Amino acid sequence: MRSPFRRRGRTAKAALALGAALSGTVLSATALSAPASAAEPIPSFSFAKCPALPAGADPTWWNCNVAIISGGQFKLGKLDQRLTSPMTLTYAVGFDPETLEQKVVVGGFQADRMLVQPGIFGDPILTAVYAKPEYGGFMDLVNGDVLLNLKVKVINPVLGGNCYIGTSSNPIKLHLTFGTTSPPPPNKPITGSYPVDVSTDPPVFKATMVDNSFAVPGGSNCGPISAGGLNWIVNLQGGLPSAAGNNAAVFTEYVSYKPYTEIS
């Protein structure tokens, strides 16, 4: 007989084990902190983008999880960007009841473009540059950590419509943890915060995940005339490509989940 307590423990752990968010954090080359805001409202969650389960999957063993990145900061090379719009990742987590093998299926990643801080290109005429994070084609949960590939679209008329930092084939590979990182120098260890229950109806958890051990690729396909003709200016002003030990992410997230047995 299946134990509901064992199943609930595994699925609850899976629901907590994601994240990606950033809050109004202070970011520097050597230290990152993510102070909580007591007045911050809990976001609303939609399960409309829950993915279809793999063929033959038993819905009893699957949850649909929604992680909302409510703010935060990315340091990519010389770019120190505060996230001013939420990012939402919808994904399913399930288990094979016989082998206990965990599987993850991504349903959707949504983010609005964000204004890059003035001065990125060193010319006031070109400060209206936007960055739009996008899913980089891979996500997994490993021992409570989150492996998440991202790419960042750089939006400006001069750069054309397909300018990216990172691509699906060469993404920014994040290894996000609630605990303490062990980055190469010059970065120093930073620490996230483990999930806390902020709502029971619906179930919502808040946590901070961090990573400052990842590398960042250079720009690609930047320039309206010849693809890649302006990669150099993105790389020059952004300090890209940027080796591991020079970049950082602090993600403060809200996560909610719903069993697939409750999803029509």
β-sheet bridge partners, residue 133 = 152
Omega of the bond prior to 35 within 30 degrees of 0, cis?
no
The reply to whether the predicted model has a pTM over 0.85 is no
d(CA 108, CA 87): 11
Locate the domains of the chain by residue range: 4-25+61-184+205-262
For the stretch 173-183, pLDDT in tens is 999 999 999 99
d(CA 187, CA 41): 32
β-sheet bridge partners, residue 64 = 92, 258
Structure tokens at 62: 């699957």
Alpha-carbon distance values, 147 to 1, 17, 114, 225 (Å):
33, 10, 23, 36
Per-residue pLDDT of the chain (264 residues; tens, 9 = 90+): 333 333 444 444 433 333 322 222 222 222 333 344 445 689 999 999 999 999 999 999 999 999 998 877 889 999 887 878 899 999 999 998 888 899 999 999 999 988 875 555 555 455 578 889 999 999 999 998 999 999 999 988 888 889 999 999 999 999 999 999 999 999 999 999 999 999 998 899 999 999 999 999 999 999 976 678 999 989 998 899 999 999 999 998 999 999 999 997
For the stretch 42-67, pLDDT in tens is 999 999 999 999 999 999 999 999 99
Q: Which amino acid is at 191?
A: T
d(CA 132, CA 262): 33
